[in-house]
Amino acid sequence: MPLGSWKGLRQGTTTIPAPPPESVSNIARQSTTEYDVASRAVALALAEIGDDLLRDGRSVDEAGAFHREAHSMSSIDARRLGGRDPWKPFVTNVAATRVFLSATNVTSNDGDGIILTLALNRHDEKNVVNPSMVSSLVAALDVIDGHPECARTNNKALIITGLVLDDDGGTTVVDEPASKFFSNGLDLEWMMRANAETGGKGEEDSDGGGSGSGSGNAVSELIESFNSDVLARILTLPLRTVAAINGHCIGAGLFLALACDYRIMRTERGYLQWPEANLGMRLTKGFAELSKAKVAGCHRNVVREGVLGARRYTSREAIASGIVDAECPIGELYDEAFRLAAYGLPESELGLNLDHFNPVAYSDMKVEMYADAFRALKFGKVGDPPHSRI
């Protein structure tokens, strides 16, 4: 189907439709009890504000200002919960705007579908992976798992990107500096500070190497949480996942993209890289197995050259090497990702149109396909010896 036809399928703004609540209070309370978006403090604050608004008969649109004020009570930005109308869709800006999660409804003769977009939103930090980013990603995945509008249908797919999103959840594909990075990998500055505070050694680290599998090593805990709570989860989601790589995609950012089913990369700017050899680091079992699972096979020399040589891959080189599936200019990147995601809707004429789709079996099938990578990500420890069994 031509790309222009897909644009016509996108209904309204890219937002997550909220269930019709009885009051603004219910929206805030659902954020905590049903899908854990907002902290209890923010939920209670928004509930009180919502009750006051309803009692005074004032417009729900005024709730936005109170949401921003309530944000100071928590690291969760819930300012758009409710929007201008309790019935209107809302976007979820998770964890102090580090991750922006939105959704677009698509329609066909045999039912509706949802294309979710998870946008990394710390452009001033080059979307690096640190504890705050990991917490934000986990919160966003919790929304995908638990939001009523997501739970009601199997027809859904997910796009992960570093593209800038506008305030209404629509993508902005203008080539601006903020979209230069998909993710610059692990937050090395944070890691150096954390190692300095712990002396570079975890409380239970007995091998003297400083890698630290013990709970006292914050760096190890960060990597293990990123592997287990983010990468392993994305790897086995019961829906199609597409990485729209808008810029540099390095280290942990590359592993985030590799955890997705498909990868589309912008042309002309940006590169992919395994930087560990250049940084004097090892991969960890999880990163190594994920790389082998997604890149090896007919391209078996790519992992060798990429990992051991810390090679940088342009979009064209990444396609030739089997790291990504397609390339396109930045102005077309989101629409191409959207089209590829829509092709994966399992029970829709727009997509796979499967007769007996079972999301549990679909997730299990991904575990079977990537069993070594899943086990290493889910259960591996940073301090495990390189030769250890998975």
Distance of alpha carbon 49 from alpha carbon 28, whole angstroms: 10
Q: Express as a percent the part of the chain with pLDDT over 90.
A: 48
Residue scoring higher pLDDT (51 or 37): 51
The pLDDT value recorded for residue 147 is 82
Tens digits of residue pLDDT in 124-134: 889 999 999 99
Write out the residue limits of the CATH 3.90.226.10 domain(s) in the chain.
Answer: 3-17+89-379
Distance of alpha carbon 37 from alpha carbon 335, whole angstroms: 28
Q: What is the mean pLDDT of residues 230-234?
A: 98
The pLDDT value recorded for residue 301 is 87
The pLDDT value recorded for residue 103 is 77
Tens digits of residue pLDDT in 179-192: 789 999 999 999 99
DSSP string, 89-123: -B-EEETTTTEEEEEEEEEETTEEEEEEEEEE--G
Distance of alpha carbon 256 from alpha carbon 274, whole angstroms: 12
Confidence of residue 152 (pLDDT cuts 50, 70, 90): confident
Rg (CA), the chain: 21
Distance of alpha carbon 370 from alpha carbon 8, whole angstroms: 35
Tens digits of residue pLDDT in 77-98: 222 222 222 223 334 544 444 6
Give the CATH superfamily of 3-17+89-379: 2-enoyl-CoA Hydratase; Chain A, domain 1 (3.90.226.10)
pLDDT over 80 (residue 23): no
The pLDDT value recorded for residue 171 is 54
pLDDT over 70 (residue 200): no
What phi and psi, each to the nearest 5 degrees, are found at residue 182?
A: -75, -55
Q: Which residues of 341-373 are buried (b: 16+ CB within 10 A; e: fewer)?
A: bbbbbbbbebbeeeeeeeeeebbeebeeebeeb
Distance of alpha carbon 5 from alpha carbon 268, whole angstroms: 26
pLDDT over 90 (residue 18): no
The pLDDT value recorded for residue 282 is 92
The pLDDT value recorded for residue 182 is 96
Q: What is the mean pLDDT of residues 24-41?
A: 31
Confidence of residue 121 (pLDDT cuts 50, 70, 90): confident
Residue scoring higher pLDDT (18 or 158): 158
Residue scoring higher pLDDT (265 or 167): 265
Alpha-carbon dihedral angle through residues 218, 224, 226, 230, given to the nearest 10 degrees: -150
Q: What is the mean pLDDT of residues 161-170?
A: 70
| Closest C-alpha among 227, 257, 259 to residue 243 | 257
Q: What is the pTM of this model?
A: 0.75
pLDDT over 70 (residue 100): yes
pLDDT over 90 (residue 379): yes
Tens digits of residue pLDDT in 60-69: 444 444 433 3
